[in-house]
């Protein structure tokens, strides 16, 4: 595949599906690489002029159209709608030191109060001259100390095969002024199994709620002033191939 290939697919409208806030999938392709992604949020009825708690969810799959092994995912970047807000007041921090060399169960125990999201990831382990096999792990998102004044999380995963390994990825929730987008995250995917691991799929749900000094708070919040919210995702592979897509999700504003 050529270096620096860029393919863009923009989905300009997604109808509201049923009442559960399910979003339609988008399919992005460059050569044989195929990325499928979908996501959404609940509830979909939100105030027009102030934010309210929401839960966001998403999932993605990487494959190929010709049966070949996918390229290795290097970076996942997501831009989020500017009509949103992240709140961390009163939420405990977790640190990388507490998570190092921990299993999922241990990590969730030592930083239980810091968990803001959970999901799952699967990779294909493809060592030379061996039959590839899949390995999966729960993913846990922990609230961490701010970086550059921005909210930050630590993504934790643990694989027991081919050797017990803990993966910790810091992700800063950057404030940006980019048209319809007000936030940006960039996750650099670690080398899995010494570089033999190929990320295949992942899912994530974020929607922490808690009380602090008598106030009910939510980690993710949004308003709906114009009938839709949107997000843009870009995936970059180790061979410099990039794919990006835009999802528009209907919402109903009230008040």
Task: Output the pLDDT for position 23.
Answer: 42
The Cα 77–Cα 67 span in angstroms is 26
Q: How many domains does the chain have?
A: 1
State the residue range of the domain holding 167.
6-254
Please indicate whether residue 12 or residue 214 has the higher confidence score (pLDDT): 214
Task: Output the pLDDT for position 11.
Answer: 29
Residue 119 has pLDDT above 60, yes or no: yes
Task: Output the pLDDT for position 24.
Answer: 53
On whether residue 149 sits in a domain, the answer given is yes
On whether residue 1 sits in a domain, the answer given is no
The Cα 255–Cα 253 span in angstroms is 7
Lowest mean pLDDT among 16-30, 92-106, 137-151, 191-205: 16-30
pLDDT category of residue 190 using cuts at 50, 70 and 90? very high
On whether residue 182 sits in a domain, the answer given is yes
The Cα 33–Cα 2 span in angstroms is 12
On whether residue 121 sits in a domain, the answer given is yes
Instruction: Output the average pLDDT for the chain.
Output: 90
The pTM (predicted TM-score) of the whole model is 0.90
Residue 122 has pLDDT above 70, yes or no: yes
Residue 25 has pLDDT above 90, yes or no: no
The Cα 218–Cα 99 span in angstroms is 24
DSSP label of 3: T
On whether residue 20 sits in a domain, the answer given is yes
82 closest CA partner among 176, 149, 16, 150: 176
User: What mean pLDDT do residues 224-236 have?
Assistant: 96
Residue 215 has pLDDT above 90, yes or no: yes
What's the CATH number where 174 sits?
A: 2.60.40.1510
Give Cβ neighbours of residue 70 (< 8 Å, ≥ 6 apart): 33, 62, 63, 64, 124, 198, 200, 237
Task: Output the pLDDT for position 26.
Answer: 87
Tell me if 28 sits within 8 A of 7, measured CB to CB. Answer: yes
């Amino acid at each position: 595949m050529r270096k620096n290939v860029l393919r863009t697919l923009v989905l300009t409208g997604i109808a509201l599906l049923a009442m559960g806030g399910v979003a339609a999938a988008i399919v992005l392709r460059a050569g044989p690489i195929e990325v499928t992604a979908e996501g959404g949020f609940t509830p979909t009825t939100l105030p027009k002029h102030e934010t309210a708690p929401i839960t966001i969810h998403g999932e993605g799959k990487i494959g190929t159209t010709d049966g070949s092994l996918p390229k290795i995912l290097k970076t996942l970047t997501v831009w989020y709608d500017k009509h949103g807000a992240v709140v961390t007041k009163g939420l405990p921090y977790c640190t990388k030191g507490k998570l190092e060399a921990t299993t999922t169960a241990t990590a969730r125990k030592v930083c239980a109060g810091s968990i803001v999201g959970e999901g799952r990831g699967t990779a294909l382990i493809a060592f030379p001259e061996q039959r590839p096999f899949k390995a999966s792990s729960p993913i846990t998102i922990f609230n961490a100390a701010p970086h550059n004044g921005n909210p930050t999380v630590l993504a934790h995963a643990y694989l027991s095969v081919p050797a017990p390994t803990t993966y910790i990825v810091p992700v800063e929730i950057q404030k940006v002024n980019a048209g319809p987008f007000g936030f940006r995250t960039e996750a650099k995917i670690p080398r899995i199994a010494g570089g033999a691991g190929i990320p295949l799929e992942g899912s994530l749900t974020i929607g922490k709620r808690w009380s602090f000094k008598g106030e009910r708070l939510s980690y993710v919040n949004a308003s709906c002033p114009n009938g839709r919210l949107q997000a843009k995702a870009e995936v970059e592979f180790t061979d410099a191939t990039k794919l990006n897509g835009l999802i528009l999700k209907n919402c109903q504003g009230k008040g």
